[in-house]
Chains A and B, each alone.
Chain A
Amino acid sequence: MGDKHTRSDFSEGARRRAWLIGVGAWAVPGLGHLIQRRWVRGLIVGGAVWSMFLIGFSLGGHLFTVGGREQGLAVLVPGLWMVGDLGSGLLYVLCWVLNLGFLDTPQAAARVTFEYGNTFLVVAGLLNYLAMLDAFDIAAGRKR
């Protein structure tokens, strides 16, 4: 009975830890692996996501948000891009707070690398979702 209780506590604690690591991995790219002492994987994954985000920014990319101007199903277009961008975690939140990269001016859109920048930014977020799931799986014991 006592053993059963201890095992149950352990699994609950492990589950909570896995969720916390998942949230940390989303918030700061690479952190989920670094917390679990997966130094190489954390640096590789985090470095790649941070690089993609910074390159996207330097190429003049634009972060998406749902601004209320869209009507009906048109909200899906910036909404889907926003879900991708949001994967960058606190990087996105920080840019949102500082209002960096959200301006959609014709001058910015006229840059040759504008669409490249958008793609880099959204893919950085999507890759971080992948890294987050990987960190969660490692913490949950599903993966080594």
Chain B
Amino acid sequence: MRHLLWIVVFAALVAVVFGAVAKGTNRHRLIYGLKVFAQFLLIGLALGWALYFLPFR
């Protein structure tokens, strides 16, 4: 659960900066920031599950 918390915090802070420095209106920036946040979370979770099934040990 703590891992999920840290990836949420990480994604939120990165999305805030990406959204703030993006071009366009405030509405466009907000949507872009939310998109970045969702993408970080979804890709992070997908990679986490993919690595779980790979036999590294």
Q: Is B6 an interface residue (CB 8 A)?
A: yes
Cβ contact within 8 Å between A51 and B13: yes
Number of interface residues of B (CB under 8 A): 12
Taking CB atoms, residues of chain A closer than 8 Å to B10 are 52, 116, 119-120, 123
Number of interface residues of A (CB under 8 A): 20
Taking CB atoms, residues of chain B closer than 8 Å to A143 are 23
A48 is contacted by which of B2, B6, B17, B23 (Cβ under 8 Å)? B17
Given A55-B9, A113-B6, the answer on whether A123 and B20 have CB atoms closer than 8 Å is no
Chain B at the A interface: mostly helix, strand, loop or mixed? Answer: helix
Name the interface residues of A34-52: CB closer than 8 Å to any CB of B.
Answer: 41, 44-45, 48-49, 51-52
Please give the distance in Å from B9's CB to the nearest CB on chain A: 7
B16 is contacted by which of A44, A55, A120 (Cβ under 8 Å)? A44
Residue of chain B at shortest CB distance from A143: B23
Q: CA A51 – CA B16 in complex, angstroms?
A: 12
Cβ contact within 8 Å between B6 and A130: no
Cβ contact within 8 Å between A44 and B20: yes
Q: Is B43 an interface residue (CB 8 A)?
A: no
Residue of chain A at shortest CB distance from B6: A116
Q: Is B14 an interface residue (CB 8 A)?
A: yes
Mark each residue of chain B from 2 to 41: 1 if its CB lies under 8 Å from any CB of chain A, else 0.
Answer: 1000100110011011101101000000000000000000
* Apart from the given pairs A116-B10, A130-B18, 6 other A-B contacts in the complex at a CB distance below 8 Å: A45-B20, A48-B13, A48-B20, A52-B10, A127-B14, A131-B20
**Chain A residues engaging chain B, CB cutoff 8 angstroms:** 41, 44-45, 48-49, 51-52, 55, 59, 112-113, 116, 119-120, 123, 127, 130-131, 134, 143
